[in-house]
């Protein structure tokens, strides 16, 4: 079990001894120079490219970002090219990376940079945070790495390192612990090399101070780690009790007209905003798939449908809930479809699907029924 707050023998303080601060900075920077991974965003000093990387890296593994970073920058090599692009094209380039609000905000922010800053990213944390979608972490990362500002960063990796280094026994998601972690990061960040120091902290958490089975023998600051001294390295950071993850059954209508299928565009804000998918929705308690589809399609498109055979069942997990999608072949019995709850609709061929931004779950349905689009 995780330690309880009553066990907290180490006060959460940001009053660090200067000798400790200097030692941690020196050892982490030396370790980073020798052991950092060769990643493409570490080979550039272009603030735009660093910003794109930091946006992609939010809640996403490095290995996944590596698949998208190069192609995205080839398509949008400058902030001006991104700002001038159509949002649909940006979403297509982002499709498969998830958390699509990041792409929408990146596009909005690029336009703000062109409009308000003559195409140059602002240098200060405050100005960066004023851009759409740029939060405390992203602003600190870009300011420190791209502009050399002594701004701290705290992501999941840094939080884990700090909780172990200072034996903080309460969950890092707790509001006051969050502030303590940011204060500690601010006290520690190197004034001479803030970008490398922040990257060293993140790198240490990603490769050495890992969530399970941390590699303490390879840690450059193990002699200063309170969790290791107390034998708590495997129990920290403490976690909050897990909540049950909601599950929903979703019905999906695959409506064909000759060689084309009907897809609808989600509203521009909210979950999967601006992406294209098959029409459908949540199945209510006690409803059959057929009854749910008839109701959903009437509400979404203003038409009545005949529900045919089951095509496939796909399970998909989002951050805070899970879904099981039940896809059925459907035909329109009466009415002309119009986008009542969505943004638009289209009849598209399999080849035309490749030019649309599609959620991962929709791609899996397409794959199951033999219509998966080829990605460029």
- Interatomic CA distance for residues 350 and 331, integer angstroms: 18
By three-state DSSP, how is residue 141 classified?
helix
- Interatomic CA distance for residues 141 and 91, integer angstroms: 24
In 3D, which of 118, 117, 203 has the Cα closest to residue 153?
A: 203
- Interatomic CA distance for residues 257 and 206, integer angstroms: 49
Q: Buried (b) or exposed (e) across 337-359, using 16+ Cβ within 10 A?
A: bebeebeebeebeeeebbebbbb
- Interatomic CA distance for residues 136 and 119, integer angstroms: 22
**In whole angstroms, what separates CA 37 from the centre of its chain?**
21
Q: Which two tokens stand for residue 77?
A: 């090599």
- Interatomic CA distance for residues 120 and 134, integer angstroms: 15
* Active-site residue, 54 included: yes
In 3D, which of 171, 237, 168, 167 has the Cα closest to residue 205?
A: 237
In 3D, which of 221, 40, 48, 33 has the Cα closest to residue 131?
A: 48
**In whole angstroms, what separates CA 285 from the centre of its chain?**
31
| 353 contact partners, CB below 8 Å, separation of at least 6 | 263, 366, 371, 373
Q: Which two tokens stand for residue 304?
A: 């009545």
Q: Which residues pair with 38 in a beta bridge?
A: none
Q: Give the chain's end-to-end CA distance (angstroms, integer).
A: 48
Q: Considering the candidates 54, 233, 277, 296, report the single residue annotated as catalytic.
A: 54
Return the residue matching tokens 């993850």: 245
Catalytic (active-site) positions: 54
């Amino acid at each position: 079990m995780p330690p309880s707050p009553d066990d907290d023998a180490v006060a959460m303080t940001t009053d660090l001894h200067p000798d400790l601060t200097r030692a941690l900075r020196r050892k982490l920077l030396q370790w980073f120079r020798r052991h950092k991974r060769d990643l493409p965003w570490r080979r550039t000093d272009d603030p735009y490219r660093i910003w794109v990387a930091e946006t992609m890296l939010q809640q996403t593994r490095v290995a996944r970002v590596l698949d998208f970073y190069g192609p995205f920058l080839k398509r949008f090599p400058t902030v001006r090219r991104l700002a001038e692009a159509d949002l649909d094209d940006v979403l297509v380039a982002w499709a498969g990376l998830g958390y699509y609000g990041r792409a929408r905000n990146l596009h909005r922010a690029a336009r703000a940079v062109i409009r308000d800053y003559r195409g140059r990213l602002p240098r200060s944390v405050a100005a960066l945070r004023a851009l759409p979608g740029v939060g405390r972490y992203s602003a600190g990362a870009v300011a420190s790495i791209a502009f050399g500002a002594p701004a701290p960063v705290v992501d999941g990796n840094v939080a884990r390192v700090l909780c172990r280094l200072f034996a903080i026994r309460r969950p890092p998601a707790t509001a006051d612990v969050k502030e303590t972690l940011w204060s500690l990061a601010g006290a520690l960040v190197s004034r001479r090399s803030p970008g490398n120091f922040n990257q060293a902290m993140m790198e240490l958490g990603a490769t050495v101070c890992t969530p399970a089975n941390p590699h303490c023998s390879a840690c450059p600051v193990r002699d200063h780690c309170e969790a290791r001294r107390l034998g708590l390295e495997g129990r920290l950071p403490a976690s909050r009790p897990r909540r049950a993850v909601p599950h929903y059954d979703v019905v999906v209508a695959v409506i064909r007209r000759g060689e084309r299928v009907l897809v609808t565009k989600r509203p521009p804000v909210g979950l999967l905003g601006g992406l294209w998918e098959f029409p459908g929705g949540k199945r209510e308690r006690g409803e059959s798939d057929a009854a749910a589809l008839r109701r959903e399609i009437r509400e979404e498109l203003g038409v009545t449908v005949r529900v045919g055979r089951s095509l496939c069942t796909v399970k998909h997990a989002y951050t805070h809930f899970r879904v099981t999608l039940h896809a059925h072949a459907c035909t329109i019995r009466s009415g002309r479809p119009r986008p009542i709850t969505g943004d638009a609709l289209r009849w598209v061929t399999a080849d035309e699907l490749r030019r649309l931004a599609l959620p991962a779950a929709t791609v899996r349905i397409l794959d199951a029924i033999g219509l998966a689009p080829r990605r460029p």
